[in-house]
Chain A
Amino acid sequence: MDSAILTLILLVPLAGAILVALLPDRGKSSAWLTLAITLATFGLTLHLPAHFDAAHPGFQFEVNKPWIENPAISYHVGVDGLSLWLVVLVGLLGPVGVLASWKAIQRREKIFYSMFLLQQTAMYGVFISLDLMVYYGFWELSLVPMAILIAMYGRKNGSAAATKFFLFTFIPSAPLLVAILYLYSRTGTFQFPDLRTDIAVGAVPAGALFWVALAFLFAFAVKVPVFPLHGWLADTFSEAPVALAMVVAGKLGLYSMLRFHVGLFPNQAHNIAPLLIALGVIGILYGACLALVQRDYWRFLAFAAMSHLGLITVGVYGFTLTGWTGATYQILNNELIDAALFVLLGALEIRYATSQIAAYGGLANRVPRLATLFVIVSLAMIGLPMLNGFIGEFLILSSTFTVSHGWAIAATLGVILSAAYMLWMVQRVFYGAESKLALDSPAHDLQLGEQLVLWPIAVLLLIMGVAPNLWLRTIETAPKPIVLQQARSATQLHVTLTSTSSREAQR
């Protein structure tokens, strides 16, 4: 079971995609089938944390089978502390996405759900692949269903947004592929563990390595997105179907940075880290300022997300253990919070058919459950203690403080701004005088299906906020780049101490 589990996690949604595509489309049959498949896959992903051995660093549930002889591409999959929870997260967001689309998608459901499952497969593939070519394959594959569905279900101008999204991510992957091929021509392997060793012992000339690392970083930074490469984000958020928009930003790019940029090229990443920290902080402030002035709540959400992703980038490139643990944890938090916000705002859009913030107002009396949940999720996003956002932000900010006071203070400013824009948003939509829209439209509070999605997430936000060690324990087993052990052993000790004490303080 342990060796087949990752393959199953890949194959079940893939087979599901084919099945949904082949079966006739009657009523809600595609949606039910997809729900069953995503739930089954989610169940499979839960096997991973249940059988993960936290005492054993490195990759677990590994499978390594040759796939293509020349060039030597292998089907090599495995998870470690870094990717473990991300796989579970993808699993959790599967059924959430299906339920979020239940009402929103009424036409051509078969294509929608088939593509949705393909997207799930691609994301699982990205997180578990340990062969660079297989990873690259899933990375590119993840673009396709996303772009097609944005074009098919876009709100106003789907195909323009889809093209923008596709080109923004596809063009930077061209240098990435050349870089991978170059590494292969030097080392003769695509496998992540081998490459890591080969690069560490200097099998690739340092001059070339600079460019290779840059090509990797560039592709990932666009996907996150890091300022100033965020041009695609707002359009994608405002056009994409809710179920896809909630997974498009953040985790793929940030995970890839941690695994393949910092992981493969620790020295190059360490050298370029100051730039990334600066860009991250600019992203935090820039995103927060833009979020304050948006009129459309999808665009608002895009810039809010950009601001929070900037903070995680800072955590990744602070090159501290606490920062990495915090960043990994914050990816999970961020995705969950974003997913909940997307579901909630999607529910609003279905009810009131507009995403203009100004049209809303005073909804709290009419849709009390929706309002309550929205407030809970907003507080988690702001980073209120006891909720999960706090833990991640605290770990990242405290680690940044050990690197640079200035940047840490600037980043903290972003946290304050995030409280400002989130609470202002809550106030404008749910409180104040009842708007014409709220008065004229019939009040439908959350239905059972929506509550089934949202309450568990809300509870999870709380659990992740009060008992983070359930997650942090395994996240901390993720292997650390060698550069850290050599260059920063003193800091490391210090950081480990602060990280432990900070977690003690939480309990």
Chain B
Amino acid sequence: MNSVPDIYRILPEVILTITGVLVMLIDASLAPLTSRRSLGWLAALGTGIAYLSSVWQLSLPMGTGFSGTVETSPFTVFFHVLICGIVIVTLLLSLDALPEDSHHQGEYYALMVFGAVGMCLLTAATELLVVFIALEISSISTYILAGYRKQTGKGPEAAIKYFLLGSFATAFLLYGIALVFGATGTTSIYDIARSAANAQNQLLIEGALAMMLVGILFKVSAAPFHLWTPDVYEGAPSPVVALMSTAPKAAAFAFLLRVVYEMFPHLRNIWAPILWAVAILSMTVGNLVALRQQNVKRMLAYSAIAHAGYLLAAFAGYGTTGIAAVAFYTAAYSAMNVGIFAVVTIAGGYSDERPLIADYKGLIYRSPLLGSLLIFFLISLIGIPFTGGFFGKFYSFNAAVGGGAVILAVIGLLNSGLAAAYYLRLAFAVAQRPDDEAQASALPMTRAGLGIITALAFATIATLALGILPGGALHAAETGAHTLQPAPSSTESPAEVTVNQTSR
């Protein structure tokens, strides 16, 4: 294990950091009024190298580095690849979406890359203090990015709201870390996993679990910790929403998987019901409130809350089935959500000039390609087969049914029927004939350059591929799941064993 240099264990993070610093340095050295677009390409290139380096990490023997604080395993690689992919696509999206004359473009690209450092590190960390630092790196970047449109009233409001509530949630997480340290005397996840079950004071451990859940559930915008989501999505620029509705969530879910399946598997009978309840609450609240929304980004915010609920349903599954389902869902959800926000960026405009569902009326008549893509991503969010959204839900509810939570699956699927109502409202607005075609076709749209087109192509292909050939991604997710939860032990639930036996 020690034959691998420590630096290899965090190679993607190192590359991302260097990229971010480079972008900032070049930004400072450029004349004030020159175009910063090339910096965006540089950031995308650096993230691309980080992507490749995390794929390369697969060839390393599994193990930890820096005295057991970070690990590389198929699990971490899965999430690294996912996060780097999202960041590349959102960077490409931002290239065309940001107005030429906006200030601090260099900073914007650097912040996105720094955010990626934090998110990647969060999935790799096996030491709670590193987790905390990683979470802060990623959060602070996204706080700033959320308020990037300073000129508007809603931008700073979004940033401040996100920052205040976010810090509060982080404090909960930190408190949880303190409690678990108090109970076990260590902050290493492995050591905690070994000693937590035998710790003297189980109440302290249970308290720690509860605190940590609050912190993480806030980050994934699950109800009842979701109140920031619609305001922040509405106030932040659409490309930033594309990033922060997906990548930080993926990272947070990865950490949640570590907490419940790796650190506290013995407390399953505590966390499973909590996550059950939160899942049902998130889906129901998200979907019910989304039904009433007129603003597309707010509607998608509530849809994101509902999707957090579907994802949490997978935690009802035992062991690897549940973990793999969560990992797969984050990937599918990211693909379609980045895609839909890419369309919203073009159709709604960078400054959200056309924010309402009514403004999307007749989009397919104005721009057939864009309209069709929007409908396609909405269909995927509904969960129609042959799209990534379907298999996401499929694996999630399959895990739930396998874990004995048939009721949860029924509620979840009925919820997705409810959700279809508001997705369809937008989809059919897009498909409707516009009232005045001449006027509608004259409406301005963000120029679709090479960056946006590439971004949309990536998102579309990923969503389709995950819907038609989910095997590869699922296999990667399962390999990752095995590293998080090694071979079935005797303590494993009997239900898991029967499920394995009955499947042919």
Contact = CB atoms under 8 A, between A and B. Distances in A.
B326 to A, nearest CB: 15
Contacts of A158: 428, 432
A170 B504 CA distance: 30
Contact of B417 (A167, A182, A189): A167
A88 interface: no
B364 interface: yes
Nearest to A66: B471
B417 A148 contact: no
B365 A108 contact: yes
A371 interface: no
Interface footprint category on B = 35 or more
Contacts of B364: 108, 111, 152
A159 B502 contact: no
B410 A175 contact: yes
A174 interface: yes
A143 interface: yes
Given A140-B384, A148-B431, A174-B413, A69 B379 contact: no
B406 interface: yes
A111 B431 CA distance: 10
A174 B385 contact: no
Given A111-B364, A152-B431, A177 B504 contact: no
A163 B421 CA distance: 7
B420 A187 contact: no
B372 interface: yes
Interface string B384-416: 111000100010011001100010011001101
Interface in A51-84: 67-72
A111 B502 contact: no
B385 A181 contact: no
B478 interface: yes
Contact of A68 (B365, B382, B431, B470): B470
Given A148-B431, A178-B409, A70 B384 contact: no
Nearest to A137: B385
A361 B236 CA distance: 61
Contacts of A163: 421, 424-425, 428
B504 A188 contact: yes
A167 B386 contact: no
Interface string A246-268: 00000000000000000000000
A68 B379 CA distance: 22
Interface string A158-178: 110011001100110111011
Contacts of A170: 382, 417, 420
B364 to A, nearest CB: 7
A144 interface: yes
A171 B470 contact: no
B401 A178 contact: yes
Contacts of B420: 166-167, 170-171
B372 A137 contact: no
A141 B401 CA distance: 24
A188 B502 contact: yes
Contacts of B432: 151-152, 158-159
A29 to B, nearest CB: 15
Interface in B338-393: 364-365, 368, 372, 375, 379, 382, 384-386, 390
A136 interface: yes
Nearest to A211: B406
A135 to B, nearest CB: 10
Interface in B445-483: 469-471, 474-475, 478
A144 B377 CA distance: 12
Interface string B416-454: 111011001101110111000000000000000000000
A299 interface: no
A197 interface: no
Contact of B427 (A21, A72, A136, A148): A148
B385 A152 contact: no
Nearest to A175: B410
B503 interface: yes
B7 interface: no
Given A108-B368, A175-B410, A167 B504 contact: no
Contacts of A173: 417
Contact of A186 (B375, B385, B416, B502): B502
B499 interface: yes
Contact of B398 (A67, A71, A147): A71
B407 to A, nearest CB: 10
A223 interface: no
A70 B481 CA distance: 14
A308 interface: no
A110 interface: yes
Contacts, number: 116
A92 B398 CA distance: 38
Contacts of B504: 72, 188-189
B386 A166 contact: no
A185 interface: yes
Contact of A166 (B397, B424, B433, B475): B424
Contacts of B421: 163, 167
B368 A110 contact: yes
A171 B385 contact: no
Contact of A177 (B375, B382, B397): B397
B413 A175 contact: yes
A141 B365 contact: no
A69 B385 contact: no
Contacts of A174: 410, 413-414, 416-417
Contacts of B499: 185
Given A69-B475, A108-B364, A182 B431 contact: no
A251 to B, nearest CB: 20
B385 A70 contact: no
B466 to A, nearest CB: 11
A147 B390 CA distance: 18
A138 B468 CA distance: 12
B424 A162 contact: yes
A167 B471 CA distance: 30
A171 B424 contact: no
Nearest to A159: B428
A186 B504 CA distance: 10
Contacts of A186: 502
B428 A69 contact: no
A166 B397 CA distance: 22
B126 to A, nearest CB: 27
Given A70-B474, A178-B409, A188-B503, A159 B417 contact: no
Contacts of B503: 71-72, 188
A145 to B, nearest CB: 10
A270 B461 CA distance: 46
Contact of B379 (A144, A181, A185, A187): A144
Nearest to B404: A185
Given A151-B432, A185-B402, A141 B384 contact: yes
A68 B478 CA distance: 14
A188 B402 CA distance: 11
Contact of B385 (A72, A140, A166, A182): A140
Contact of B431 (A21, A138, A159): A159
Contact of A147 (B397, B414, B424, B469): B424
A187 B502 contact: yes
Contacts of A69: 471, 474-475
Contacts of B365: 107-108
Contacts of B379: 144
Kindly name the residue among B385, B386, B414, B425 whose own CB sees the greatest number of chain A CB atoms within 10 A.
B385
Given A163-B428, A167-B420, A185-B402, 17 more contacts: A21-B372, A68-B474, A69-B475, A72-B503, A72-B504, A108-B368, A111-B368, A137-B386, A147-B428, A148-B431, A151-B428, A151-B431, A158-B428, A162-B431, A171-B420, A177-B394, A178-B397
24 contacts: A67-B471, A68-B469, A68-B470, A69-B475, A70-B478, A108-B364, A111-B364, A137-B386, A138-B385, A148-B427, A151-B431, A152-B431, A159-B432, A163-B421, A170-B382, A171-B417, A174-B410, A175-B414, A181-B409, A182-B401, A182-B406, A185-B398, A186-B502, A188-B502
